[in-house]
């Protein structure tokens, strides 16, 4: 693929920058040094979590409410880190929950930050101290952290400027962990769907592929077997609140009503209708759907996979991609982008800043049979120093250039129009759906 094609967020990076508190130069340039955190020490108090003790079994989701009492606002948007410290003093492997805490620049009085986390299926039972802190993502080391005032019931952690606010009790699973449902073509066809294997040299995806690559622990999954979408697992807007990427020239407004679950499938529907898009306050003539795990799940390294049936039509742009949970861009890992009609190919792309701080990308256009005719598994195996892309279990691309080394969350969306796919025309079928049979993430 073209090395100069902008990322789906490159042209909308100003919004991303605002979310992460990065008011400054364009993403392709090195940001200027950040001034010291504005709030004097002790002007933000940290309170115990609600509940103070939360329980869950491996594989379950738990909700935590982090509370603060703010005498003087920090003056900029900070990020919240959450660590889970085991009885042996070691951090749990999924501790890196460095997500922005929107609005901290203007925090006043009592404020709350709600998080929904999925406990890894192999998490050791026992008690874990919940340790939090606020930090400026533009600074490095402990200088990036804000001194908080611990209220009653809050302990000071062994780390600098970190505070123990509660206890996570991981219960033993009632039975042996259940093996995920089979994902081979014959046994995991979507309900009422096809059982055809993949188009790529006859290679068939099966449920052992992640394990064959060494990714043996299932850390997140949604089979979409319920009657509605889990709002604890999925959000319907971008992390910075936008419902379109205007910088890409996209035509759609993402709305919750365009996302549904039925027949064992997640359905992201693009429709021709005129709406005033929330937040943007502009009239748009197409609506569509997106989901993201920005509030529930992020992971450093792993095997990220989804079984998807792409739509076909001019201007339709289905995508499955990863963004850093800290809000900074780049990097970005695009697992699937299929902007052509009919979708007889898809693009794999990795966006990053090179040694000079300049935006670069590497990727490949992968030829395939019409991806709208059947379901296919799109995946990446992301490890230190290397990212490998897979279609139905067969590797199609890899890169070793300055590989992202911080946790990322998932986005699935059906964009419409834009500078890359072009706008829809009279031949574009509306409504059109991007169908997702399941999403699964593994770790080593």
Give the angle subtended at the CA of 443 by the CAs of 86 and 380, to the nearest 5°.
150
Residue extent(s) of CATH 2.60.120.200 domains in the chain: 179-443
The pLDDT of residue 143 is 66
CATH number of 44-170: 2.60.40.10
Q: Reduced to 3 states, what is the DSSP secondary structure of residue 262?
A: strand
By C-alpha distance, which of 55, 5, 21 is closest to 240?
Answer: 21
355 noted as active-site residue: no
Measured in degrees and rounded to the nearest 5, phi and psi for residue 363 equal: 180, -170
Q: Which residues are 363's β-sheet partners?
A: 349
Catalytic one of 250, 337, 362, 433: 337
The pLDDT of residue 350 is 96
The pLDDT of residue 182 is 32
The pLDDT of residue 387 is 98
Which tokens is 289 given? Answer: 């759907």
Residue extent(s) of CATH 2.60.40.10 domains in the chain: 44-170
Catalytic one of 63, 281, 332, 383: 332
Return d(Cα 354, Cα 352) in angstroms, integer: 6
* 388 preceded by a cis bond (ω within 30 of 0): no
Other CB atoms within a 10 A radius of the CB of residue 4 amount to 8
Are the beta carbons of 154 and 47 closer than 8 angstroms?
A: yes
Block means of pLDDT (10 residues each) for the chain, 444 residues, are: 46 39 36 41 80 84 85 77 82 54 72 77 85 74 77 81 90 54 30 25 52 90 91 89 86 96 96 91 93 92 96 98 91 97 96 91 94 96 97 95 95 95 95 96 92
By C-alpha distance, which of 274, 280, 326 is closest to 300?
Answer: 326
Q: Reduced to 3 states, what is the DSSP secondary structure of residue 430?
A: coil
Chain segment 100-157, per-residue pLDDT in tens: 555 677 788 888 887 777 777 667 899 999 988 887 766 655 667 888 889 998 988 7
Q: Reduced to 3 states, what is the DSSP secondary structure of residue 20?
A: helix
337 noted as active-site residue: yes
The CATH fold assigned to 179-443 is: Jelly Rolls (2.60.120)
User: What's the Cα-to-Cα distance from 249 to each of 62, 288, 323, rounded to whole Å?
Assistant: 38, 15, 20
The pLDDT of residue 166 is 92
Are the beta carbons of 308 and 378 closer than 8 angstroms?
A: yes
The pLDDT of residue 33 is 39
């Amino acid at each position: 693929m073209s090395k100069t094609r902008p990322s789906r967020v490159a042209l909308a990076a100003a919004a991303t920058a605002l979310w992460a508190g990065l008011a400054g130069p364009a993403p392709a340039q090195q940001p200027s040094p950040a001034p010291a955190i504005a709030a004097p020490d002790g002007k933000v108090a940290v309170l115990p979590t609600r509940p103070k003790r939360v329980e869950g079994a491996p594989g379950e989701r738990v909700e935590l409410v982090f509370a603060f009492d703010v005498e003087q606002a920090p003056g900029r948007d900070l990020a919240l880190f959450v660590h889970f410290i085991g009885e042996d003093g070691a951090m749990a492997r999924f501790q890196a929950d460095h997500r922005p805490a929107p609005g901290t620049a203007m925090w006043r009085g009592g404020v709350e930050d709600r998080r929904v986390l999925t406990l890894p299926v192999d998490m050791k039972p026992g008690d874990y101290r919940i340790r939090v802190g606020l930090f400026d993502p533009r600074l490095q080391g402990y200088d990036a952290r804000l001194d908080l005032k611990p209220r009653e019931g809050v302990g000071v952690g062994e780390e600098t400027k970190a505070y123990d606010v509660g206890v996570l009790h991981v219960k033993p699973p009632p039975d042996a962990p259940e093996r995920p449902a089979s994902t081979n073509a014959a046994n995991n066809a979507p309900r009422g769907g096809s059982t055809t294997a993949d188009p790529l040299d006859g290679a068939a995806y099966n449920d052992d592929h992640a394990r064959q690559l060494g990714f043996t622990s299932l850390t997140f999954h949604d089979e979409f077997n319920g009657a509605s979408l889990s709002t604890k697992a999925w959000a319907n807007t971008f992390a910075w609140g936008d419902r379109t990427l205007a910088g890409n020239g996209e035509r759609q407004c993402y709305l919750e009503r365009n996302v549904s679950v039925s027949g064992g499938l997640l359905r992201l529907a693009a429709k021709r209708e005129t709406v005033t898009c929330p937040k943007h306050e502009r009239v748009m003539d197409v609506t569509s759907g997106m989901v993201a795990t920005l509030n529930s799940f992020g992971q450093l390294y792993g095997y990220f996979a989804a079984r998807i049936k792409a739509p076909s039509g001019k201007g339709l742009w289905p995508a499955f991609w990863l963004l850093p949970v800290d809000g900074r861009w780049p990097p970005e890992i695009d697992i699937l982008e299929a902007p052509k009609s009919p979708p007889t190919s898809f693009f794999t792309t990795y966006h990053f800043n090179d040694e000079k701080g300049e935006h670069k990308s590497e990727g490949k256009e992968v030829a395939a049979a019409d991806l709208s005719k059947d379901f296919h598994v799109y995946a990446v195996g992301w490890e230190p120093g290397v990212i490998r892309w897979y279609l139905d279990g067969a590797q199609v691309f890899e890169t070793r250039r300055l590989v992202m080394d911080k946790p990322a969350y998932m986005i699935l969306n059906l964009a419409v129009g834009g500078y890359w796919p072009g706008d829809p025309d009279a031949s574009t079928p509306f409504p059109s759906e991007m169908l997702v049979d399941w999403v699964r993430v593994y770790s080593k």
